[in-house]
Amino acid sequence: MKHKPNVQAETRDLPPVEGWRRVEHTGRARTTCPCGLDTQYIPTTQATAAARSHAQQ
């Protein structure tokens, strides 16, 4: 199976300012792959490392 890992950054909503939506990154991300890999939310650097490692399998 060819792995295609995907890293999704977690964000959270902040109160709007003058009608504009605001979000901020939490510093966490999750890596998923169609093969079933799901790291849940972990630090972003670990999530990207997991994606790189998994793609080489």
Q: What is the pLDDT along the chain (57 residues), one digit of tens a residue?
A: 789 999 999 999 999 999 999 999 999 999 999 999 999 999 999 999 999 999 998
Query: pTM for the whole thing?
Result: 0.84
CA dist., res. 55 & res. 48, Å (int): 11
Q: Which residue has the tokens 């790189």?
A: 52
